[in-house]
């Protein structure tokens, strides 16, 4: 018998969420983002589950090499490009596609001694001001890369949205307009081998005017909405991860008694307290305040007392029946990770990606 804390990963939900992305833009190709261990879901298993995907996206070459060494054969896009010139040859040998967003990265490709050509994604800073060349300089960089015998035939021009999760924002249309101005110069528009990529999860779901050749779905394929409000397409997603544990102890406490470290919660009535074996050592947020919901026997029950390394305490006084061994859902289909994140003043992305290896992943379907 092992500790009951586990993350159950539903492969079919993963496939269904990617299928939704594809159905919204059937003329485009989707590159599932599997960086940060596939948002905590397990990069290798996610890639295996999405074996028909045309390519995958990671942050860096270490993530890509690990997947290639484990047998993943599709092209892998390095979203941050290279960090040193020697990575270009590795990328060329292993069919890693390189995002190129600054002069040193570009020069590393142009001066590479690699025997194989590398596929380039040319990054444009259309307004997020994080990565990418300036819009007015794109034509010059594009022509230099196009003229190089180190660069593969197809070049993808790409940018990233800063505010696509805000459906009322004017920033996204402005970024689209900026991108379109960049890619309609005579040299670029006359090239039959140029392709474009703009849409992340929020744009796929909510900004159809951003659809181009390639999409980069991340958070949405794991079944979670990037929006803070209901949205028709996002409401069709199915959470892939169910983070669950179990009750390991029950006790009755009297009015006026406190629970947990610092005694920051005091019972206002006679209460039944369940101890659940999960804590910040398992990636559950330590900042979860009193009242954060945990699903026990299908009922939302509030956390009381501070989250500790290995345990939380939950007020189950409202349950008609509760026992040691009963399942506790921390987040999943009936308790979205976004809801838990709201209580904790963070985002679901963080809760998923920081889940440690201590928590076993169990893959189903």
Q: One of 29, 35, 349, 362 is an active-site residue; which one?
A: 35
The predicted-structure confidence for 148-199, as pLDDT tens digits, reads as follows: 999 999 999 999 999 999 999 999 999 999 999 999 988 898 888 999 999 9
Mean pLDDT, rounded, of the chain: 97
3-state secondary structure 159-207: CCCCCCCCCCCCHHHHHHHHHHHHCCCHHHHCCCCEEEECCCHHHHHHC
CA distance readout (Å), 195 to 57, 157, 189, 216: 17, 6, 10, 14
The predicted-structure confidence for 308-353, as pLDDT tens digits, reads as follows: 999 999 999 999 999 999 999 999 999 999 999 999 999 999 999 9
Task: Give strand pairing partners of 250.
Answer: 274
Any catalytic annotation for residue 261? Answer: yes
- Beta-carbon contacts of 186 under 8 Å, excluding residues fewer than 6 positions away, are none
pLDDT at 45: 98
Q: Report how far residue 30's alpha carbon sits from residue 25's, in angstroms, rounded to the nearest whole number.
A: 9
Any catalytic annotation for residue 35? Answer: yes
pLDDT at 1: 54
Q: Report how far residue 1's alpha carbon sits from residue 223's, in angstroms, rounded to the nearest whole number.
A: 30
Burial letters 8-31, b for 16+ CB under 10 A, else e: bbbbebbbbbbebbbebbeebebb
Helix 138-147, helix 103-110: angle, nearest 10: 20
**Which is it for strands 299-302 and 293-296: parallel, antiparallel or unpaired?**
antiparallel
The predicted-structure confidence for 27-36, as pLDDT tens digits, reads as follows: 999 999 999 9
Domain architecture of the chain: domains with CATH: 11-224 (3.20.20.10), 241-364 (2.40.37.10)
Cα radius of gyration (the chain):
24
DSSP string computed for 4-63: --EEEEEHHHHHHHHHHHHHHSTTSEE--B-HHHHHTT-HHHHHHHTTT-S-EEESSHHH
Q: Report how far residue 236's alpha carbon sits from residue 290's, in angstroms, rounded to the nearest whole number.
A: 30
Q: Report how far residue 99's alpha carbon sits from residue 117's, in angstroms, rounded to the nearest whole number.
A: 14
pLDDT at 223: 98
The predicted-structure confidence for 262-315, as pLDDT tens digits, reads as follows: 999 999 999 999 999 999 999 999 999 999 999 999 999 999 999 999 999 999
Q: One of 142, 261, 349, 362 is an active-site residue; which one?
A: 261
């Amino acid at each position: 018998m092992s500790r009951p804390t586990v993350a159950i990963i539903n492969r079919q939900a993963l496939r269904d969420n990617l299928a939704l992305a594809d159905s919204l833009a059937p003329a485009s190709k989707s590159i599932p983002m599997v960086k940060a261990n596939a948002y905590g879901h397990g990069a290798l298993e996610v890639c295996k589950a999405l074996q028909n995907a045309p390519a995958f996206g990671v942050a860096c070459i270490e993530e890509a090499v690990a997947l290639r060494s484990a047998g993943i054969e599709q092209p892998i896009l390095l979203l941050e490009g290279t960090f040193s010139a020697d990575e270009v040859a590795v990328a060329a040998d292993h069919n890693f596609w390189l995002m190129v967003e600054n002069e040193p990265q570009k020069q590393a490709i142009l001066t590479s001694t690699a025997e194989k050509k590398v596929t380039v994604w040319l990054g444009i800073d259309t307004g997020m001001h994080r990565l990418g060349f300036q819009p007015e300089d794109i034509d010059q960089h594009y022509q230099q890369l196009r003229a190089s015998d180190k660069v593969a035939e197809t070049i993808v021009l790409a940018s990233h949205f800063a505010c696509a999760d805000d459906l009322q924002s004017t920033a996204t249309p402005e970024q689209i307009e900026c991108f379109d101005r960049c890619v309609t110069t005579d040299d670029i528009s006359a090239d039959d081998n140029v392709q474009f990529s703009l849409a992340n999860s929020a744009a796929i779901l909510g900004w159809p005017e951003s659809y181009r050749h390639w999409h980069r779905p991340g958070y949405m394929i794991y079944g979670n909405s990037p929006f803070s409000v209901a949205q028709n397409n996002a409401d069709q997603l199915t959470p892939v991860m169910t983070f669950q544990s179990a009750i390991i102890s029950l006790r009755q406490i009297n009015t006026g008694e406190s629970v947990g470290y610092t005694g920051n919660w005091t019972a206002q009535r006679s209460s039944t307290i369940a101890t659940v074996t999960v804590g910040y050592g398992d990636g559950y947020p330590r900042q979860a305040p009193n009242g954060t919901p945990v699903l026990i026997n299908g009922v939302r029950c509030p956390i009381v007392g501070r989250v500790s390394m290995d345990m939380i305490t939950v007020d189950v006084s409202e349950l008609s029946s509760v026992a040691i061994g009963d399942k506790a859902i921390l987040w999943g289909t009936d308790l979205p990770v976004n809801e838990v994140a709201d209580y904790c003043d963070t985002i679901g992305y963080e809760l998923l990606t920081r889940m440690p290896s201590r928590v076993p992943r169990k893959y189903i379907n």
